[in-house]
Amino acid sequence: MRPRHLHCLGPHGFHRIAYTEWGEPDATRVVVCVHGLTRTGRDFDFLAQALATQCRVLCPDVAGRGHSDWLTQKEDYGYPLYLSDMAALIARAGVEQVDWVGTSMGGLIGMMLAAQPHSPIRRLVVNDVGPFIPRASLERIAKHVGKAPTFAGIDAFEQYLRQVAAPFGPLTDDQWRHLAMHSSRRYDDGTVTVSYDPAIANPFSGELRDVVLWPVWDTISCPTLLLRGTQSDLLLAHTAQEMTQRGPRARLVEFEGIGHAPMLMADDQIAVVREFLLAEA
């Protein structure tokens, strides 16, 4: 694993995007893994290790998260900037095509990039998100995103994370600690808080409505794998089924007993993704 960064240009100047790189630097097959709304690129450590023998894997912290810069102009947090930043990362990779693994927000970014003319995305993995997101799930997210509670230490933060992220599924103690360590920020006095700019929640202020992106989905043509937790309230079962019938006609794999979203840390989840990405076109 190699920590790296690049500078991306937004509407109000440059900002630094941090990412971790796995695998051989000269590998021709590149996989980009992008996390969910409040998460970081280190969520993909387990998957990246499994892919690193055959691929170069790039796992960015989206702007305002992890080790990436917080934006000075908070209104810039949104998909136009995220798409531009990820296009810069793909350009940095120095290859003609990449594979994409995106969880929740990262899946939406991947969908929007894959729908563009002459898209460099060769294969697309969309993890527990789709072109229809019900208002109820957005309202649930809005209740906790953007809050920055302070905890006495990493143990207290981990217990909080286990509660709010219980839908991630039955992770091991080591995996919960991994998530806690890489999604927290420590103050000088030893207290701990979340590792994201609370302003990323600004788009959730005001009246929330269903998100409808079927025109985006219908434009995608690359081979696509769709993952879903059977208890997910963000990717509804009927939406997932419709995604297998239109657009790229995704292959659907569901994981029992998991909500939003599968963390791609369990062996069975990693195996599904790895098999899809390494399959011959």
The string of pLDDT tens digits covering residues 69-80 is: 999 999 999 999
Residue 281 has pLDDT above 50, yes or no: no
Average pLDDT, stretch 217-222? 98
d(CA 144, CA 228): 22
What does each C-alpha distance from 34 to 47, 209, 279 come to in angstroms? 12, 24, 21
Is the pLDDT score of 230 beyond 50? yes
In the chain, DSSP assigns E strands to 2-10, 13-22, 30-34, 56-60, 98-103, 121-127, 132-133, 184-186, 192-194, 211-212, 224-229, 251-255
- Strands 98-103 and 121-127, how do they pair? parallel
Architecture of domain 2-132+213-278 in CATH? 3-Layer(aba) Sandwich (3.40)
DSSP category for residue 231: T
Across 241-249, average pLDDT: 98
pLDDT level of residue 279 (50, 70, 90 thresholds): confident
pLDDT, mean of residues 242-266: 98
- C-alpha radius of gyration, the chain, whole number: 18
Give CA–CA dist 119/87, Å, rounded: 10
Please tell me the predicted confidence (pLDDT) of residue 206.
84
- Rounded to whole angstroms, the Cα distance separating 34 from 108 reads 10
- Give the pair of three-digit tokens for residue 136: 């109820």
ω into 240 cis (within 30 of 0): no
Instruction: Give the model's confidence band at 147: pLDDT under 50 very low, under 70 low, under 90 confident, else very high.
Output: confident
Pinpoint the alpha helices (H) of the chain.
Answer: 45-51, 79-93, 105-114, 135-142, 154-164, 173-182, 214-219, 237-243, 267-278
